Amino acid sequence: MRGEGSLDLIKDVLVVIVSLVAIFTDAKWNKIPNWLTFSAIIFGFIVNSLNGWKGIVSSFGGFILALAIMLPFFSLNLLKAGDVKLVLTWGAIKGLKQPFWQSFALWAFLYGALIGGIISLVFLASEKTNSQSWKRIMALLGLIFSSPKTLSQVSEASPLKTPMPYGISLGLGSFFTVALERWFGTPCPFIF
């Protein structure tokens, strides 16, 4: 369809703007605001509707795939609602790709998780690491290898309850995914 390239550019710019604002608000206030995610989701559906029913179905499919990916993490209280809504926003904006495992929201989340892990390891390896970080890791390992429980069952004094602005890692993951799509035409050029 004519104009799809410019529509893709609009979607990429929207993802970058939303991610930048999410990184800023999560770093400053430890929150990704509803006004950002809800308005971007609506705008994502509108932009995709310019491709007719195909665009609307793709946008809705991307939203549902993102929901399916994020719901278990939210249900286990491992991610905050703002982080989940940020990934849902990407799903609505970028839509569902064929095959589905090449969808933007999936890979932006996975790259964000990888970046978050790397940031955590660098932080822990730095000489500025305090004992609170190690307590958090030990508590998380204890949670993983003990009887099944959610973070809501963990005491308020636990190091696991220390808020972490995960939106920063997710936002960086979205930038990486946009770059891969621009360079290779797919969010994960290593899997076909």
Which one, of 104, 101, 100, 93, lies nearest residue 50 by Cα? 93
pLDDT band at 121, cuts 50/70/90? confident
pLDDT digits (tens, 9 = 90+) for 103-120: 999 999 999 999 998 887
Q: Looking at 13-22, 94-103, 113-122, which range is the least confident one?
A: 113-122
Q: For residue 140, what pLDDT is reported?
A: 65
Question: Where does residue 147 fall: left (phi above 0), alpha (psi -120 to 50 degrees), or beta otherwise?
Answer: beta
- Tally of CB atoms within 10 A around 175: 18
pTM above 0.95, yes or no: no
pLDDT > 90? residue 141? no
pLDDT digits (tens, 9 = 90+) for 145-170: 665 555 555 555 544 455 678 899 99
pLDDT > 80? residue 8? yes
- Tally of CB atoms within 10 A around 81: 13
pLDDT band at 2, cuts 50/70/90? very low
